[in-house]
């Protein structure tokens, strides 16, 4: 007899969802026991790491990934990672186990009150009415995740897997095409705006994806600077290009000052404009016209732009590069930063980042989760490909280590480096076991200062008195890594740092074992 489980396995094969990231619970055993050999199970030791690894896998493959969570406990533990996937616009299919449908009304042990547990972060959350609706729900989740670029959840009671599925209909299309072309007539208002601009600028964001060539062609046609959105999850423009102008400030007064020279600002794949601390006043100076191109409906609908396009950024930029007349402008806008070279004494984050930048291969995938060092990383480590800077756009911690593991699994020939703070690493440290067990050759550079340095700085600037949280310099990241099976090296001096980097970098693309560098750094003021 053909079962719901059989039908779902066929769906997973059809959409190449054959790698299952999971931390199993009892309600998932009927699905997983006797898993077919062509389906791969990847164990994570915490659900945040499970979804984080799936997120990295999806980024690396540019396609939806599959995660499996256990009822309320698993889904609850994974909510931060699900929120990060939504903000980073990463497509995920998330199956969530549930107790046996036949006695859910009695709220048995491990029955989950799952409706709304992940909030509004899933692009779809489905509770199939019948067991026979599960295969269609999984197929629809795949399409919803790919279309909306976010996590789609399907809750499956444990007895559904054994239910019969003979002669049933899968309520979802086999193929779903998403044409991305744009008509020249529709672009006419934007062409006119850009052609008439005296001092245009572009703001690039994570929504550009890997389609850099079209945006580069447009920027060179306009002869204008290209800024990176603030707090973005991915670089949107080559940061070694002479027209790259740096990262936009995250506060309105500084943003207005940066954009003051420009009469037209075109945001591509980025919201208008992401901020952090609230500062009163408008986002842009009076008289500056803002246009937006995004394929994210939420961004399009909330952005205070004068002209907005809900369309493929790559398709729009490609046509604009042909339709907009050449400005004849030239020049370089690369911003210089005054970071002094190593002068002896304890290592600073800037010392580590400078030495790292000088050795990174061009095609490196660099995952960042070191909030206090992020400005220095932007200044010292330019993203030269679309994988050259990846971060958690949501801002919650726990992304860096598991995302690096998943991305390297998806692209085993690409060098992968995660630069994380020790405070950040503690939120996803379980991923190191998965890296070691599955022989994932990523490099984890942990900037260990034994404190939440970014929070300390915020408390000082707030001026409300001493922060109540202590340092945690007793934590030994190297020992934690080794306890999870991941090799680790302690770095305390400049010679330690350069020696470790010189040893590991030549094998970064081919190594089959992970390595964590536990780098002791001082807090820069």
Asked if 219 and 202 touch (Cβ cutoff 8 Å), the reply is yes
CATH architecture group of domain 349-520: 3-Layer(aba) Sandwich (3.40)
CATH number of 184-323: 3.40.50.1220
Q: What is the pLDDT of residue 468?
A: 84
The answer as to CATH 3.40.50.620 being correct for domain 4-162 is no
- The widest CA-to-CA distance across the chain, in whole angstroms, is 74
**Which of 322, 277, 273, 278 is CA-nearest to residue 294?**
273
Q: Measure the CA–CA gap between 144 and 93, rounded to whole angstroms.
A: 9
User: Tokens in use for 279?
Assistant: 């500062």
Per-residue pLDDT of the chain (525 residues; tens, 9 = 90+): 899 999 999 999 999 999 999 999 999 999 999 999 999 999 999 999 999 999 999 999 999 999 999 999 999 999 999 999 999 999 999 999 999 999 988 999 888 899 999 999 999 999 999 999 999 999 999 999 999 999 999 999 999 999 999 888 888 889 888 888 899 999 999 999 999 999 999 999 999 987 789 999 999 999 999 999 999 999 999 999 999 999 999 899 999 999 999 999 999 999 999 888 888 888 999 999 999 999 999 999 999 999 999 999 999 999 999 999 987 776 666 555 556 788 788 999 999 999 999 999 999 999 999 988 999 999 999 999 999 999 999 888 999 999 999 999 999 999 999 999 999 999 999 999 999 999 999 999 999 988 787 777 777 777 777 778 788 889 999 999 999 999 999 999 999 999 999 999 999 999 999 999 999 998 765
pLDDT, residue 525, reads 57
> Are both 4-162 and 184-323 of the same fold?
yes
Q: Where are the domains of the chain?
A: 4-162, 184-323, 349-520
pLDDT given for residue 210 in this prediction? 78
Q: What's the pLDDT at 28?
A: 94
The two tokens of residue 367 are: 């995952």
What is residue 449's three-state secondary structure? coil
In angstroms, how far is CA 424 from the centroid of its own chain?
15
Residue that has been written with the tokens 């580590």 in this structure? 352
CA pair distance 167, 7, nearest whole angstrom: 11
- Name the one residue in this structure whose structure tokens are 């603030």: 230
Measured between alpha carbons, how far is 201 from 220 in angstroms, rounded to an integer? 11
Helices (H), 149-262: 184-195, 212-222, 252-259
Backbone angles phi, psi at 128, to 5 degrees: -55, 135
Contact 124, 141 (CB under 8 A): yes
- Please tell me the predicted confidence (pLDDT) of residue 220: 94
Which two structure tokens, joined as six digits, stand for 203? Answer: 């703001």
Confidence at residue 334, expressed as pLDDT on a 0 to 100 scale: 57
Write the DSSP assignment of 286-317 as a string of letters: TT-EEEEEES-HHHHHH---SEEEES-HHHHH
379/476 Cα distance (integer angstroms): 29
In angstroms, the CA 120 to CA 206 distance is 21
């Amino acid at each position: 007899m053909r079962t719901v489980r059989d039908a779902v396995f066929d769906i997973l094969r059809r959409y190449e969802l054959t790698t299952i990231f999971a931390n199993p619970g009892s309600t998932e055993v009927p699905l997983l026991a006797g898993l077919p050999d062509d389906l791969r199970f990847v164990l994570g030791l915490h659900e945040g790491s499970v979804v984080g690894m799936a997120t990295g896998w999806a980024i690396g493959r540019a396609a939806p990934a599959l995660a499996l969570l256990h009822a309320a406990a698993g889904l609850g533990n994974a909510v931060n990672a699900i929120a990060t996937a939504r903000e980073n616009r990463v497509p995920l299919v998330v199956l969530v186990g549930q107790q046996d449908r036949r006695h859910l009304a009695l709220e048995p042990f491990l029955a989950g009150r799952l409706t709304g547990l992940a909030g509004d972060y899933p692009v779809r959350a489905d509770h199939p009415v019948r067991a026979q609706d599960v295969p269609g729900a999984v197929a629809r989740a795949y399409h919803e995740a790919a279309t909306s670029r976010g996590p789609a959840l399907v809750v499956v009671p444990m007895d559904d897997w054994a239910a019969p599925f003979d002669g049933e209909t899968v309520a979802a299309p086999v193929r779903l095409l998403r044409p991305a072309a744009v008509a020249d007539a529709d672009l006419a208002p934007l062409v006119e705006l850009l052609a008439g601009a005296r001092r245009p600028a572009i703001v690039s964001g994570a929504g550009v994806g890997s389609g850099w060539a079209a945006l580069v062609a447009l920027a060179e046609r306009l002869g204008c600077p290209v800024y990176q959105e603030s707090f973005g999850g991915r670089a949107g423009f080559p940061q070694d290009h002479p027209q790259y102008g740096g990262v936009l400030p995250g506060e309105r007064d500084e943003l207005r000052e940066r954009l003051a020279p420009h009469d037209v600002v075109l945001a591509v794949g980025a919201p208008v404009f992401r901020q952090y601390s609230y500062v009163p006043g408008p986002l842009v100076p009076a008289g500056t016209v803002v246009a937006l191109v995004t394929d994210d409906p939420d961004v399009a609908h909330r952005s205070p732009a004068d002209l907005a396009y809900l369309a493929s950024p790559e398709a729009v930029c490609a046509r604009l590069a042909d339709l907009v007349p050449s400005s004849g402008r030239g020049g370089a806008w690369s911003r210089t930063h005054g970071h002094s070279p190593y002068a002896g004494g304890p290592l600073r984050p800037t010392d580590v980042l400078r030495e790292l930048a000088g050795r990174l291969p061009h095609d490196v995938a660099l995952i960042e989760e070191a909030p206090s060092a992020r400005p220095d990383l932007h200044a010292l480590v330019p993203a030269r490909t679309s994988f050259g800077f990846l971060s958690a756009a949501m801002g919650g911690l726990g992304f860096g280590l598991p995302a690096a593991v998943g991305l390297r699994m998806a692209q085993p020939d690409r060098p992968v480096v995660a630069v994380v703070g020790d405070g950040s690493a503690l939120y996803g440290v379980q991923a190191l076991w998965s890296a070691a067990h599955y022989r994932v050759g990523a490099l984890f550079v942990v900037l260990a200062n034994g404190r939440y340095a970014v929070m300390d700085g915020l408390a000082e600037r707030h001026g409300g008195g001493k922060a109540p949280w202590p340092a945690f310099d007793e934590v030994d990241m190297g020992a934690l890594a080794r306890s999870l099976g991941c090799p680790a090296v302690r770095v305390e001096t400049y010679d330690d740092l350069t020696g470790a980097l010189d040893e590991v970098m030549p094998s970064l693309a081919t190594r089959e074992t992970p390595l964590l560098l536990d780098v002791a750094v001082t807090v820069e003021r």
